[in-house]
C-alpha cells in the first residue's frame, strides 16, 4: 500500500481523538516529513487539508439530514467550539452550518469525497543509489510555494538566473532545494548553487549551510515538468519498499551536466535525505 493511500485509509476510518500530522505519520510508519512530501506529491494537496475538508464534507451531509445539535457535529469534526466550526465551514462552503441544516440539502456544496492516489505515483523507478553527502553551502533565491503552485517554480528559476553569474565561488551545477512542508502544505523552495564559502553575495539571495546527510538518489531523465511523477513514485512506493523513511531535511534537485535550462531537457537527479 502506498503512503498516500495508507494515509487516506487511516483518515477515512479515524473517528476518535485529534488526528495530527505527527500521529498520522506514526500510523503510516514514516516520518512527518516523509508523509507530508509523499501525500503532497501524489495528491497535489496537503494531507491535513484533505483531512479537514473530508471531515467538513461529512459534517455537511450530517447537517443536511437535520442534525439537532450543531455543537455535537462540530466536536465530531474535530472542532472544539461552535464558533471555530462555523468559521471553517463557511470558509469552505460559503454557507453557515445552520443554513445547510435549514435547507436540508447539500446541493451546490463543493464536497470532497474520498480520493485515491493518481496513477502517476505507480510509475516504476530504477533503484536509487545511496550517497553520503558532506555539508553543502548554498546561495539562492528562496520563495514559498505549495503543492498546488509548483508550476511557479519555473518562473522562479528565470528570476534567479540573472543573479547566477554574480555569485562568487560557485561549485558544480545549479540545484533546487525543497524544504519540508508544514501542516498547511507550504514549503520553501530555493533556486540555488553550491558555493565554496558563504561570503559576500547579492543581498536578495539566501545563503545557508545544509548539514551532511545520507541520500537516496533517483535519476529523472524525462522533461523537468514530469519531475512531480518521480517525486510521487519515489516517496510513495520506491523508498517504503526499501524500508527507508525521509529525514526532516531538504530534498535536493541536482541538474545533470546535460541539463538545458532553456528546454527543460537533460535530466535531474533527485536527492532524498534518509532517516537512518
Task: Give the model's pLDDT for residue 17.
Answer: 58
- Residue 216 pLDDT more than 70? yes
The C-alpha cell of 94 is what?
Answer: 460559503
Task: Give the model's pLDDT for residue 16.
Answer: 56
Other CB atoms closer than 10 Å to residue 59's CB: what's the count? Answer: 25
Least confident of 9-18, 39-48, 208-217: 9-18
Res. 110 pLDDT band, cuts 50 70 90:
very high
User: Grid coordinates 524525462 are at which residue?
Assistant: 222
Domain positions in the chain: 3-103, 129-275
Q: Is the dihedral of CA 35, 39, 41, 46 positive or negative?
A: negative
User: If you average pLDDT over residues 256-261, what whole number do you get?
Assistant: 87
- Residue 120 pLDDT more than 60? no
Res. 117 pLDDT band, cuts 50 70 90:
low
User: If you average pLDDT over residues 229-233, what whole number do you get?
Assistant: 92
Task: Give the model's pLDDT for residue 74.
Answer: 93
Res. 205 pLDDT band, cuts 50 70 90:
very high
DSSP H/E element including 240: helix 239-241
User: If you average pLDDT over residues 58-65, what whole number do you get?
Assistant: 94
In this structure, whether the domain defined by 3-103 belongs to CATH 1.10.10.60 is answered with yes
Task: Give the model's pLDDT for residue 123.
Answer: 62
- Residue 231 pLDDT more than 60? yes
Convert the pLDDT of each residue in 66-101 to its tens digit.
Answer: 999 999 999 988 898 999 999 999 999 999 999 999
Task: Give the model's pLDDT for residue 147.
Answer: 87
User: If you average pLDDT over residues 184-200, what whole number do you get?
Assistant: 91
- Residue 190 pLDDT more than 90? yes
User: If you average pLDDT over residues 187-213, what whole number do you get?
Assistant: 92
- Looking at the domain covering 129-275, what would its CATH class be? alpha beta
For residues 212 and 272, the answer to whether their CB atoms sit within 8 Å is no
Mean pLDDT, all residues of the chain: 90
What is the rounded distance in angstroms from the CA atom of residue 236 to the CA atom of residue 4? 7
The C-alpha cell of 77 is what?
Answer: 469534526
Task: Give the model's pLDDT for residue 119.
Answer: 44
Burial class (CB in 10 A: 0-12, 13-18, 19+), 35: buried
Highest mean predicted confidence (pLDDT) among 38-47, 71-80, 209-218: 209-218
- Residue 254 pLDDT more than 50? yes
Amino acid at each position: 500500500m502506498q503512503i498516500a493511500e495508507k494515509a487516506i485509509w487511516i483518515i477515512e476510518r479515524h473517528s476518535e481523538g485529534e488526528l495530527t500530522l505527527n500521529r498520522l505519520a506514526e500510523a503510516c510508519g514514516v516520518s512527518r516529513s516523509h508523509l507530508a512530501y509523499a501525500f503532497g506529491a501524489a495528491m497535489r494537496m496537503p494531507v491535513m487539508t484533505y483531512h479537514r475538508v473530508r471531515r467538513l464534507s461529512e459534517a455537511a451531509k450530517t447537517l443536511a439530514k437535520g442534525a439537532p445539535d450543531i455543537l455535537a457535529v462540530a466536536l465530531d469534526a474535530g472542532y472544539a467550539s461552535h464558533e471555530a466550526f462555523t468559521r471553517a465551514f463557511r470558509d469552505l462552503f460559503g454557507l453557515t452550518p445552520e443554513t445547510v441544516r435549514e435547507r436540508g440539502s447539500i446541493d451546490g456544496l463543493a464536497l470532497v469525497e474520498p480520493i485515491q492516489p493518481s496513477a502517476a505515483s505507480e510509475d516504476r523507478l530504477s533503484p536509487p543509489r545511496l550517497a553520503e553527502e558532506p555539508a553543502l553551502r548554498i546561495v539562492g533565491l528562496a520563495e514559498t510555494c505549495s503543492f498546488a503552485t509548483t508550476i511557479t517554480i519555473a518562473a522562479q528559476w528565470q528570476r534567479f538566473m540573472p543573479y547566477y553569474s554574480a555569485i562568487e565561488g560557485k561549485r558544480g551545477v545549479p540545484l533546487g532545494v525543497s524544504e519540508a512542508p508544514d501542516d498547511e502544505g507550504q514549503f520553501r523552495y530555493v533556486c540555488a548553487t553550491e558555493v565554496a564559502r558563504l561570503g559576500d553575495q547579492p543581498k536578495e539571495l539566501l545563503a545557508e549551510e545544509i548539514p551532511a546527510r545520507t541520500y537516496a538518489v533517483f535519476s529523472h531523465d524525462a522533461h523537468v515538468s514530469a519531475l512531480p511523477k518521480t517525486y510521487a513514485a519515489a516517496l510513495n512506493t520506491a523508498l517504503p519498499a526499501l524500508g527507508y523513511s525521509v529525514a526532516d531535511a531538504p530534498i535536493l534537485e541536482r541538474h545533470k551536466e546535460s541539463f538545458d535550462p532553456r528546454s527543460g531537457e537533460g535530466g535531474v537527479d533527485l536527492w532524498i535525505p534518509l532517516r537512518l
